[in-house]
A and B are shown apart, each in its own frame.
Chain A
């Protein structure tokens, strides 16, 4: 039931690109992406909705393939500040604030 994220961890150099995937065995109504730095709370990145709409406030893009029940987060030209653990979360139904989170992907950006 829990979304599965891949890869589990990735190490990059500044300026490199990365893709984090989130897949579900159940239908996805939307996908929520968060980033958590060590010792801090998760910070909202964006929501991907059916039909292609996305809401977010970071210079990070993402896609949502409803048929494949997958979402991907694209980190381009990585900066040191991108380091952290990325979580995808998905609601179990259309009208709920209950998010089921993936296990997280740890991203480390090195100078």
Chain B
């Protein structure tokens, strides 16, 4: 079974630009969560999507948005990029929601904002 895939793997942008990151979950998984990882803040929750609906949102500004498609693939968008948005963005998929479902992470997208 193929794992979680994320594209692109690396991205370099300048301040003020916007970026779209893509995540394809493991086949059959319906839940996708996004996390931001930085050396200073660790793993921070961004969003959770299930059945094309955002179920949870982390404490991030409105510049961060996302969506999920009918095939469970998900995208996240960051508008008006700031230097502090430089991070590894990870998506994780699971079969369902809830405390019993293990999340499997993709390789991440390394975003650098100059």
Contact = CB atoms under 8 A, between A and B. Distances in A.
Interface stretch (A13-21, A65-73, A75-83, A93-101): A93-101
Contacts of B55: 96-98
A98 B34 CA distance: 9
B90 interface: yes
B106 interface: yes
Nearest to B57: A98
Contacts of B108: 41
B90 A41 contact: yes
A84 interface: no
Nearest to A104: B42
Contact of A40 (B45, B94, B107): B107
Contacts of B42: 87, 101-104
Nearest to B3: A41
B102 A98 contact: no
Q: How large is the interface on B (under 10, 10 to 19, 20 to 34, 35 or more residues)?
A: 20 to 34
A50 to B, nearest CB: 9
A94 B90 contact: no
B28 interface: no
A101 B31 CA distance: 18
B102 A41 contact: no
Contact of B99 (A29, A43, A44, A103): A29
A97 B103 contact: yes
B48 A96 contact: yes
Given A44-B103, A97-B97, 9 more contacts: A40-B107, A41-B106, A95-B97, A97-B101, A97-B103, A98-B55, A99-B33, A100-B45, A101-B35
